[in-house]
Chains A and B, each alone.
Chain A
């Protein structure tokens, strides 16, 4: 009961926040967006004209010109051109949320489509694979390292954790990528330097999968190296401070085993705070993950954005920024729901 209310409340709050964030984006890119929509309208109009000429040979030049002009006007009207700003804003936001992201200037999807949404759909799964596996790996390993360090406070591992946390905070993810490529791909020659599959791709399910894993290893490792330290550090301090609380002393006095206490009491108490930190960590490492795609030529949204920057392909840049915002929101939303699930106060409906 309590959790259901929590979920509903958070869903509304996140939906509104997403709307607000996209509105901010809209304001930030307003001049560019208008240019992009006009470009898309021109593109669509010339497609329309080509069709008209091909299929309706009876039309005169004047008729065609007029039809095309009408078409373009109606296209622009759908995006609220020549309308006061509030209506324009509303129409363009609706179009954004319906994923009418226009057509790209230069880039195209593997199937040849120039629609931005088709291009993004082709690249998106790779970003999700890299980012989710990376995050899960970091959270799992980071939590274990943090716990073990806290368990033996003052020990060797405990002294190492702050060091890897410093590394986490002072090394850019993309540069770690450079170093790993130079070492594993060019010096040792054991792993591919980039891309997502070998050329030509191997046949058969198992070889393809192994090939995929080989390509995933280095980007994943870079992401892991730069993200795990900070997270382990946070988990460690959360657990250490929870261990100083009275109930732990009491449990210890009752003769409860350290291991049982750590997992049963301390971890349960600290887990909502850990979930909050996970949310922050996810938000913080997102940018690093999309830049790693550039270094490893991993065909995800970050790589797509980089290609679009190189060619000034504005529709793609705007479209992928919009989609990235949605993905990050979903990630945080899932994190928040997990947090609510872990926090006994929320379950109790407090």
Chain B
């Protein structure tokens, strides 16, 4: 058999299929992206992902920033540095102050404000004077500030000070102050209706003064107005950027898909091929073995087993492979049966060539193209199964998976709150990762095995 020629003709026919070529191009892009991600996003990111304190400075549950192009006013995070501290340190103590001008031209408030002072020495008090465009001021004091800490609106002294400010405006008692109300206090027009008023647009200024013991020295600090939109894919309710999760999940999904598919397809093809090749009682026994695994509910099985075995990428792939080969075995057996009917097999048999050798010389090469097509098709199935498992909370720890992000989305009622970006992008990514394999697989399937499914 002139295999070289066949391969070339397969390739030519494959290239005729438009969807196959599109799939191939997408596949190359996907692998390149995955390679980039594997290099650019180190494993340590995965440990950070599950640590909420890393993400406190990010806006929580905000849409992607490109919603601004669609008529939504959702400012991005704006950071300002406090530098050029003026003041002095003397024997009686030290006091420094710095001021920053902030232009705010949005009809909405930011979603939070974070103040991060940096200094060395002992500070007794930090005082912020917030001046609104109309000249009204709000004053907040923090005693014994700690250098490098991010003070947000949920910090109790800030919360209390702003609560008092609201009460002086509304002249009514407020038992509890939400971050949204704090922001209203800082940005809305003053008066009894401050909580429901409109945002003042224009130039704000924040003046920060730090008072401390002799020897205090203040370095560059920052004020940041946490935005109402973030990056290309928004954030979840912990402030984790969805885009980071979506990218970081790619290598894992591909590795799982490729490893598990290669094992299950090759195993299934050989198993089913041998069954069809031997025939007789061996075929009966092997086909029965195929039935046993076919009828195992893979998903439920893996869930149950995951309580006895600590899942890793490799053993999860092995378990998936061990449970997903029967489909390929069934088809391979059918193909083998049709090859067996052909004349050259009889010729080999007549010449006395051992049967196992016949299988590997005549049958396996003819099963190879089918194997490649099925591997491509199977990868998408494994990717989806893997993501489904992580959606259910089953999988190796310390990996970022799209299923895991979607699990968080359903746990925190993302759909109910209208946080569409949280469910949309990880899901699209599953489709993006599996579709090229499906396209290539379908095209290959049509080229190499036009009548495989017919028998």
B101 contacts partner chain A, Cβ-Cβ < 8 Å:
no
Q: Which of B147-155, B348-356, B415-423 contacts A (4 or more CB under 8 A)?
A: B415-423
A290: contacting residue among B293, B300, B435, CB under 8 A: B300
A-contact bits for B133-153, CB 8 A (1 contact / 0 none): 000000000000000000000
B455 contacts partner chain A, Cβ-Cβ < 8 Å:
yes
Known contacts A170-B434, A175-B427, A291-B391; is-contact A234 B453 (Cβ 8 Å) = yes
Q: Which of A99-107, A197-205, A315-323 contacts B (4 or more CB under 8 A)?
A: A315-323
Q: Is the CB of B415 within 8 A of A193?
A: yes
B452 to chain A minimum Cβ distance, whole angstroms, is: 9
Known contacts A166-B435, A178-B415, A294-B392; is-contact A24 B427 (Cβ 8 Å) = no
Q: Which residues of A contact B453 (CB under 8 A)?
A: 234, 237-238, 241, 273, 277
How many Å lie between the Cα of A329 and that of B292 in the bound state? 9
Q: Is the CB of B416 within 8 A of A170?
A: no
B interface: dominant SS: helix
B-contact bits for A228-271, CB 8 A (1 contact / 0 none): 00000010011001100000000000000000000000000000
A339 to chain B minimum Cβ distance, whole angstroms, is: 13
Q: Is the CB of A280 within 8 A of B327?
A: yes
Q: Is the CB of B303 within 8 A of A305?
A: yes
Q: Is the CB of A291 within 8 A of B299?
A: yes
Q: Is the CB of B307 within 8 A of A317?
A: yes
A97 contacts partner chain B, Cβ-Cβ < 8 Å:
no
B211 contacts partner chain A, Cβ-Cβ < 8 Å:
no
Q: Is the CB of A325 within 8 A of B296?
A: yes
Q: Which residues of B contact A136 (CB under 8 A)?
A: none
- Chain A positions 3-25 with a Cβ under 8 Å from a chain B Cβ: 13-14, 16-18, 20-21, 24-25
Q: Is the CB of A186 within 8 A of B415?
A: yes
How many Å lie between the Cα of A204 and that of B177 in the bound state? 47
Q: Is the CB of B298 within 8 A of A287?
A: yes
B307: contacting residue among A170, A193, A314, CB under 8 A: A314
Q: Is the CB of A170 within 8 A of B435?
A: yes
Known contacts A170-B435, A175-B430, A181-B415; is-contact A28 B308 (Cβ 8 Å) = yes
B439 contacts partner chain A, Cβ-Cβ < 8 Å:
yes
A-contact bits for B369-408, CB 8 A (1 contact / 0 none): 0000000010011001101100111100000000000100
Q: Which of A29-37, A40-48, A51-59 contacts B (4 or more CB under 8 A)?
A: A29-37
Q: Is the CB of A305 within 8 A of B300?
A: yes
Q: Is the CB of A321 within 8 A of B308?
A: no
Known contacts A17-B291, A169-B380, A169-B381; is-contact A317 B451 (Cβ 8 Å) = no
A129 to chain B minimum Cβ distance, whole angstroms, is: 18
Q: Which residues of B contact A288 (CB under 8 A)?
A: 388
How many Å lie between the Cα of A181 and that of B303 in the bound state? 26
B412 to chain A minimum Cβ distance, whole angstroms, is: 13
Q: Is the CB of A29 within 8 A of B307?
A: yes
A: contact size bracket: 35 or more
Q: Is the CB of A30 within 8 A of B308?
A: yes
Q: Which residues of B contact A175 (CB under 8 A)?
A: 406, 423, 427, 430-431
Q: Is the CB of A284 within 8 A of B300?
A: no
B454 contacts partner chain A, Cβ-Cβ < 8 Å:
yes
B301 to chain A minimum Cβ distance, whole angstroms, is: 6
How many Å lie between the Cα of A162 and that of B387 in the bound state? 24
A192 to chain B minimum Cβ distance, whole angstroms, is: 13
B319 to chain A minimum Cβ distance, whole angstroms, is: 9
B-contact bits for A283-295, CB 8 A (1 contact / 0 none): 1101110110011
Known contacts A172-B427, A309-B394, A317-B307; is-contact A273 B297 (Cβ 8 Å) = no
Q: Which residues of A contact B25 (CB under 8 A)?
A: none
A-contact bits for B420-455, CB 8 A (1 contact / 0 none): 100110010011001101110110000000110111
Known contacts A17-B288, A178-B423; is-contact A324 B295 (Cβ 8 Å) = no
B336 to chain A minimum Cβ distance, whole angstroms, is: 16
Known contacts A29-B308, A174-B388, A193-B416; is-contact A328 B295 (Cβ 8 Å) = yes
A324: contacting residue among B19, B297, B305, B330, CB under 8 A: B297
B166 to chain A minimum Cβ distance, whole angstroms, is: 32
Q: Is the CB of A172 within 8 A of B388?
A: yes
Known contacts A18-B295, A321-B301, A328-B295; is-contact A172 B387 (Cβ 8 Å) = yes
A306 contacts partner chain B, Cβ-Cβ < 8 Å:
yes
Q: Is the CB of A241 within 8 A of B295?
A: no
A-B contact pairs, 30 of them (CB 8 A): A17-B292, A21-B292, A29-B305, A32-B304, A162-B19, A162-B442, A166-B435, A166-B438, A166-B442, A171-B384, A171-B430, A172-B430, A174-B391, A193-B415, A237-B453, A241-B453, A283-B295, A287-B298, A287-B300, A290-B300, A295-B410, A305-B303, A306-B392, A306-B393, A317-B303, A321-B301, A325-B296, A325-B297, A325-B301, A327-B297
Query: Can you add 18 more A-B contacts, CB < 8 Å, to A186-B416, A321-B301?
Result: A24-B292, A25-B301, A32-B308, A169-B380, A170-B384, A170-B435, A172-B384, A178-B410, A178-B415, A179-B424, A181-B415, A182-B423, A186-B418, A273-B455, A283-B295, A284-B327, A305-B300, A306-B392
Please list the residues of chain B having a beta carbon within 8 angstroms of any beta carbon in chain A: 19, 288, 291-301, 303-305, 307-308, 327, 330, 377, 380-381, 384-385, 387-388, 391-394, 406, 409-410, 415-416, 418, 420, 423-424, 427, 430-431, 434-435, 437-439, 441-442, 450-451, 453-455
Please list the 3 inter-chain residue pairs (A to B) with the smallest Cβ-Cβ separation, ordered nearest first: A241-B454, A287-B299, A175-B427
